[in-house]
Amino acid sequence: MTENPFNPLFGRRPNVFIGRDEIEREFLAAQDNNNSPWRSTLLIGMRGSGKTALLTNIREQLPTSSIVVYAAPESEFLANLLGQIYKQLPQKSIKILENINSFTVAGFGLGLTKEQPSFTNSFRYQISLMLDELKKDKIPVIFLIDEVQKHSDELRTFISNYQQLISENYDISLVMAGLPQAISDLLNDNILTFFRRANRIQLGNLNIELVKMDYQQIFLKSDFSITKEEVEEAALATQGYPYLIQLVGYYLWENLKQYPAEESLQRAKILAQADLFQNVHEVVYNELSAMDQKFLKTMAEVGSSVEISEISKAMGKKMNYISNYRARLIEAGVIEANSYGKVSFTLPYMHEFIKLKDE
C-alpha cells in the first residue's frame, strides 16, 4: 500500500501542496529583479492557512548559490540570523573575518587579541561585515521569517536594520509570515513605517475546484474503491482551507484501508472537524477577550452571515460599541465583512464550533 500522501502535522511541509504556485513563482522571479516589490513580502494568514508550508516550499526552490536564513523570532533571534549567515559563508570570507579582531558571531569572539569596542557587538555592525564579504562574490541573502510575534524587540531591530541595508544596495530579500494581529502590530509600529510599503499577501482559502482536481488525482488513481462523487464530497468538506485539506485527505486515506468509501468519508469528516476544533478554533477562541467571545457567541446564535444591527440588538449594545469589536475581530482575522453591514466567520466550521461552546 502506498504511503498516505497527506500530512496534517503543523510545522511540516505536506507532500500534497495545493494552490500557492503563483506566490512561489513571483518571489523566486524577484530574486533576479532588484526592483520587484516581491523582494519584501508579508504572508498574512490564520492558523492552518499554510504559511509555514509555503515558506518551506519557497526555501526548497531557492538557488543553492544564495544564502538562505530561515528563522522564527524567538530568544536570541538576531544571534541565530548571524550564525546562519556565518555558517554558509565561503571559506575565504570566514578567514578574512577571523582576522578582524573586533568580529564576533552570536556573542563568541573569533581569535580576538585585544578588547573590542562596544559598537562591534551590535547586530548592524556584524551583519554588515558579512554582507560586505558576500557582496564581493555577488551572493544574495534571503531571509525567511516564520511565526512573527507581536512586540518582539529583536524583530523590530532586524526590520529597522533590514530597511537600512536595502538602502545601501546589499542583495537581500525577505518573506515574513505571521498571524493577522501580529502583522498588524508591526505595520502600526511608528518606527517600522517602511514595512507599510511591503508586498502583502493574504493567504485565504484555496479555490475548491483546485482541491477537487488534486483529490481526484490522488484518490481515483489509488487502489481504493471510491467514486468521483465521493471524492468531490470530501473536497467540498475542506472548504478550501489548507489545514482541512490535509486533515480530510489524511483521514479518508487511512479509513479507506478498512471501511467502505461512504463510511470512510463520514469518519474522515468527523475526525477532521474534531482536530480542527481542537488545534485551531480552540486556540483562536481562547486568545480573544471575554467581550470578543460574547460577540462571536451572539453572532453564532443569530446565524453564520449576520447583520451588525442584529448583533447590536441581541447584545443590547449601541452600534458604535459593537462596531469596535467588529473591527477588532476583523483585524484578528476571525470574521470578515462580506457585504455592507454584514459579517461572517472566516474559519470553516467556526459557527458550529461556537454553538458547541454554548451547549
Instruction: List the chain pLDDT tens, one digit each, 359 residues.
Output: 688 999 888 656 666 666 788 899 999 999 999 899 999 999 999 998 989 889 998 999 999 999 999 998 888 899 999 999 999 999 888 877 776 554 555 554 444 444 555 555 788 988 999 999 999 999 999 999 998 887 788 998 999 999 999 999 999 999 999 999 889 888 888 778 878 888 999 998 999 999 999 999 999 999 999 999 999 999 999 999 999 999 999 999 999 999 999 999 999 999 999 999 999 999 999 999 999 999 999 999 988 788 999 999 999 999 999 999 999 999 989 999 987 779 999 999 999 999 888 66
Query: How many Å apart are CA 17 and CA 214, to the nearest integer?
Result: 9
Report helix angle 308-315 to 290-302, nearest 10.
110
What is the CATH code for 288-357? 1.10.10.10
Beta bridge partners of 202: 44
Q: Grid coordinates standing for 256? A: 479507506
- The residue ranges of every structural domain in the chain are 21-202, 208-277, 288-357
DSSP 3-state of 204? coil
Q: Grid coordinates standing for 31? A: 530574486
CB 162 within 8 A of CB 71: no
Query: How many Å apart are CA 92 and CA 139, to the nearest integer?
Result: 13
Q: Residue 154: which of 126, 199, 122 has the closest Cα?
A: 122
CB 31 within 8 A of CB 142: yes
Domain 21-202 is found in CATH 3.40.50.300: yes
Q: Grid coordinates standing for 270? A: 468527523
Dmax (CA) for the chain in angstroms is 75
